[in-house]
């Protein structure tokens, strides 16, 4: 069982207006820190007490001191700290809360008709932690590893906690090797078939009626990727599903839509690209280009992370082994062709040297 510790300290200089700005209306800022870091904060005037696990308690203490500095008067006016500033301060603290078993204390914990949603393996736990602690998160891996489902759960969790104001779901409208022809209906109805997995997850977590109401109020928005151009998305949780079917240009366009206090989760499986032959996947390109960029996390799943029927894991593993064997054969053939080319070049060079030598001997004679 973990040991709780408490930190007691005073914020100086004591100033009732600065303290009011720090705590926010109805202590909203204090409540956000408590919720995000898993601690309990009490205070009387400028004397504060933080109770929780050692790492979270120390982080919350430093965060309160840092935020109090931000309340210093500017031109005689005390700035108001809002939820966005507190959110950014927590993000910059980069705290990943772990429990005594090495898991993550701040997990997605959404109650649905089927039970409580939470990560089922270490990779999923790390994925959820990265979504919480990064502005942009990539979830890459085979079907059935929970990439999209957990992303939707994290979005719902953020909406319920009022950390964001809306959820935006998008997906490239690329047909999976089939020509569906003209689809009737308005924009939403045309895109619905492509976004059905996201809808299913939302219906399960929030219920059909609530999802419908949130969509009517534009709290939940569904749009094809092509309609993202020119927009700036603030206070939003954006999920780009099936991102392996984006082009390089589309991926760059999407990533540059992210606005203030927004999170983006990009999911995809680079082994199931449905783009025309010769077109490079935007997801593959993003892995190559963005792997060293701060505030972006990459999470790679494999067959061991599949949480569907056990046969799905075996299918994925079989395909992985087949692809690995094919890659090995391709490399072997390439190496053999290179060796043969080098041998032919060496032979040609040797023949040229022999001819030069004969010509030289003839001239000397």
Q: How sure is the predictor about 94, in pLDDT bands with cuts at 50, 70 and 90? A: very low
* pLDDT recorded at residue 109: 65
Q: How sure is the predictor about 97, in pLDDT bands with cuts at 50, 70 and 90? A: very low
* pLDDT recorded at residue 180: 46
* pLDDT recorded at residue 46: 92
Query: Tell me: the pLDDT tens digits for 291-321?
Result: 888 889 999 998 777 765 556 667 767 777 7
Residue 316: other Cβ atoms inside 10 A: 24
Q: Give yes or no for residue 112 having a pLDDT over 70.
A: no
Per-residue HEC secondary structure of 122-187 comes to HHHHHHHHHHHHCCEEEEECCCCCCHHHHHHHHHHHHHHCCCCCEEEEEECCCCCCCCCCCCCCCH
State the chain's maximal CA–CA distance in angstroms.
Answer: 111
Domain ranges of the chain: 5-93, 115-302, 309-342
Residue 139, strand partner residues: 267, 299
Q: Give yes or no for residue 68 having a pLDDT over 90.
A: yes
Q: What is the pairing mode between strands 115-117 and 263-268?
A: unpaired
d(C-alpha 107, C-alpha 297), whole Å: 17
DSSP 3: P
Query: Tell me: the pLDDT tens digits for 206-254?
Result: 888 999 999 999 899 887 887 787 787 889 999 999 889 888 999 999 9
Q: Give yes or no for residue 41 having a pLDDT over 90.
A: yes
For residues 252 and 120, the answer to whether their CB atoms sit within 8 Å is no
List the single range of 5-19, 135-149, 222-236 with lowest mean pLDDT. 222-236
* pLDDT recorded at residue 98: 43
Stretch 147-153: mean pLDDT, rounded? 90
For residues 125 and 103, the answer to whether their CB atoms sit within 8 Å is yes
DSSP 227: G
Percent of the chain with pLDDT strictly greater than 70: 80
Supply the pTM of this predicted model.
0.59
Which tops the pLDDT comparison, 10 or 114? Answer: 10
* pLDDT recorded at residue 188: 60
Task: Find the distance separating the first CA and the last CA of the chain, reported in whole Å.
Answer: 98
Sign of CA dihedral 140, 145, 148, 150: negative
Which tops the pLDDT comparison, 284 or 322? Answer: 284
d(C-alpha 293, C-alpha 287), whole Å: 10
Contacting residues for 63 by C-beta, under 8 A, at least 6 apart: 33, 37, 89, 90, 93
CATH code for residues 5-93: 3.30.1370.10
Residue 157: other Cβ atoms inside 10 A: 22
Q: Which CATH architecture has domain 115-302?
A: 3-Layer(aba) Sandwich (3.40)
Q: How sure is the predictor about 259, in pLDDT bands with cuts at 50, 70 and 90? A: confident
* pLDDT recorded at residue 99: 44
Mean of all residue pLDDT scores within the chain:
81
């Amino acid at each position: 069982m973990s040991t709780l510790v408490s930190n007691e300290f005073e914020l100086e200089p004591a100033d009732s207006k600065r303290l009011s700005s720090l705590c926010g209306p109805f202590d909203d800022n204090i409540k956000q820190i408590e919720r995000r870091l898993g601690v309990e904060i009490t205070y009387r005037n400028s004397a504060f007490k933080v109770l929780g696990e050692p790492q979270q308690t120390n982080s919350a203490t430093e965060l309160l001191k840092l935020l109090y500095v931000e309340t210093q008067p500017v031109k005689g006016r005390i700035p108001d700290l809002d939820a966005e500033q507190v959110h950014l301060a927590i993000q910059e603290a980069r705290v990943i809360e772990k429990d005594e078993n090495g898991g993550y204390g701040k997990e997605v914990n959404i109650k649905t008709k089927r039970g409580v949603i939470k990560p089922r393996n270490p990779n999923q736990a790390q994925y959820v932690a990265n979504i919480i602690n990064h502005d942009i998160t990539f979830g890459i891996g085979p079907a059935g590893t929970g990439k999209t489902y957990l992303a939707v759960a994290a979005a719902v969790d953020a909406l319920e906690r009022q950390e964001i104001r809306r959820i935006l779901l998008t997906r490239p409208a690329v047909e999976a090797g089939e020509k569906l022809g003209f689809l009737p209906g308005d924009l939403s109805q045309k895109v619905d078939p492509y976004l059905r997995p996201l809808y299913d997850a939302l219906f399960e977590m929030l219920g059909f009626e609530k999802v419908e109401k949130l969509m009517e109020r534009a709290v939940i928005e569904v749009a094809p990727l092509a309609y993202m151009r020119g927009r700036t998305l603030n206070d939003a949780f954006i999920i780009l599903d099936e991102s392996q079917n984006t082009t390089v240009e589309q991926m760059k366009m999407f990533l540059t839509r992210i606005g203030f206090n927004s999170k983006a989760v990009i999911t995809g499986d680079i082994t199931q690209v449905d783009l025309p032959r010769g077109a490079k996947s935007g997801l593959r390109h993003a892995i190559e280009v963005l792997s060293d960029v701060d505030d972006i996390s990459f999470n790679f799943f494999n067959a061991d992370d599949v949480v569907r029927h056990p046969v799905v894991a075996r299918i994925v593993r079989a395909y992985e082994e087949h692809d690995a064997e094919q890659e090995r054969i391709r490399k072997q053939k390439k190496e053999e062709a290179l060796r043969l080319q080098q041998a032919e070049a060496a032979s040609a060079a040797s023949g040229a040297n022999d001819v030069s030598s004969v010509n030289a001997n003839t001239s000397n004679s």
